[in-house]
Copies of this chain bind each other. A is one copy, B any other.
Amino acid sequence: MNSKKFLIAFDADDTLWVNEAFYNEAEQKLESLVGPYLKTSLLKEQLYEMETRNLSIFGYGVKGFILSMIETAIEITSEQIKGSEIQQIIDVGKDMLTQPIKLLLEVQETILHLENEYDLMIITKGDLFDQESKIARSGIADHFRFIEIVSEKNEEVYLNILKKNEIDSNRFMMVGNSLKSDILPVVNIGAHAVHIPADTTWQHEQISDFEKAKMQYHELTSMGQLPALLDQVFRNNQNREK
């Protein structure tokens, strides 16, 4: 990479824009659809169990989530769910795929502030088509020099991205809401990681307190704090090179 000195990569869902809240909303709509069939209220647990079971076949993203919702609805209603209700589940999913992008607080200003000094990147996982569509609809795509949509975020994937962009790990920083996907593998390859927790995070993206305690990473409460942190982290490197 032959331009700026540092590469700052952002996760997209629940880091740049709202995402998990729409999954939770969909779950509530599913609950009201299948509710009349149920004696117990184990829907949430069964849906998560189904999503986990299907992950190796469908991967991440809304389309797999819709299919898991349908399968859960069939299973939990002992196949009594009606065709019209399944159509409603699909429509809930289509709404998720087409709704306007809601940028999170301070995202726009922070990106504008940083783009002159740093190379900015998006690294997001999920459906290729859905993620591309969200990035296009976000209105901030042009501020990112690189965009990577990957099927999984692990050490190997991050190492490949660094290699492809010819950047050392100590010049790379990942910013995201998921300790499991955005922080843990990045810390493990010796790069910088900044955790900005989201209001709600999918169960699948959580890690144990034990793992948390071992890791060296930065924690911020809002995106607006990022520029100051960057100054602090990268100032040393810059001075050394002068």
Measuring CB to CB, which residues of chain A are less than 8 angstroms from any residue of chain B?
A: 57-61, 63-64, 66-67, 70-71, 73-74, 77, 79-84, 86-87, 90, 93-94, 97-98, 127-130, 132, 149-151
Interfacial chain B residues near A151, Cβ < 8 Å: 128-129, 132
Tell me which of A59, A61, A63, A128 has the highest count of chain B C-beta atoms within 10 A of its own C-beta: A128
Assess the A90–B70 pair: CB atoms within 8 A: yes
Contacts known (A59-B129, A70-B90); A79 close to B82, Cβ less than 8 A? yes
Across the interface, name the chain B residue whose C-beta is closest to A89.
B70
B132 touching A98, Cβ below 8 Å: no
Oligomer copy total: 2
Cβ distance A141 to chain B, nearest Cβ, rounded Å: 14
Hey, which chain B residues are within 8 Å of A130, CB to CB? Answer: 59
Cα distance A78–B93 in the bound complex, in angstroms: 21
Complex interface: chain B residues within 8 A of A59 (CB): 127-130
- Which residues of B sit under 8 angstroms from A60, Cβ to Cβ? 129
What residue in chain B is nearest A130 (Cβ atoms)?
Answer: B59
9 new A-B pairs (CB below 8 Å) besides A79-B83, A81-B83?
A57-B97, A59-B127, A61-B129, A63-B63, A71-B87, A79-B82, A82-B83, A86-B86, A132-B151
A79 touches B90 (CB 8 A): no
Q: Which residues of B sit under 8 angstroms from A66, Cβ to Cβ?
A: 67
Return chain B residues, CB-CB under 8 Å to A73: 83
